[in-house]
Amino acid sequence: MMSIGKRMICLILMSSLLLSALCFSVGALSFIRGDADADGTVSVIDATTIQKVKASVQVDAFDEKAADVDGDGVVSVIDATLIQKSLAHIEIPYALGETVTVETDAPTQTIEHQPGENELPILS
């Protein structure tokens, strides 16, 4: 039979373990490689989106992680060119359109696509 003091220590230890597990939970961020405008598909619009961002032109949506096709940590015209090459059926060493999930210290993030002026909104 445990004494009340031992029960209290046990309860405090269990509470602190549970609290630390909650504090250090890791979020996940998913994106589609090459889907720079976050509309769910990889198309020439994604290459154009990257070019617009590099030219400081306003875009409706931009997913920086997805736009970094070669994963070098920088979004550049090279990433746009890789998308264009792949769409022209020129082999590139990256799997465009694959879903990539990375763990982050931040809570799970969702990037929502906002329809542009030339797009119809998706009704659900």
Binding site residues, Ca ion, CB under 5 A: 35, 37, 39, 46, 68, 70, 72, 74, 79
Beta carbon of residue 55, minimum distance to Ca ion (angstroms, whole number): 16
∠ CA 106-98-102, rounded to 5°: 20
At closest approach, how far in Å is the CB of 113 from Ca ion?
8
First-last CA distance in the chain: 59
DSSP 37: T
Closest to Ca ion by CB, 17 vs 74, is: 74
At residue 73, what are phi and psi to the nearest 5 degrees? 90, 0
Q: State the minimum distance, in angstroms, from the CB of residue 28 to Ca ion.
A: 21
Q: CA 37 to CA 6: how far, in whole Å?
A: 57
Cβ closest to Ca ion, residue 72 vs residue 119? 72
In the complex, minimum distance from the CB of residue 111 to Ca ion, in angstroms, rounded to a whole number: 12
Q: Which is closer to Ca ion, CB of 27 or CB of 97?
A: 97
- With tokens 């405090």, the residue in question is 12
- DSSP class of residue 111? P
Which one, 12 or 74, has the nearer CB to Ca ion?
74
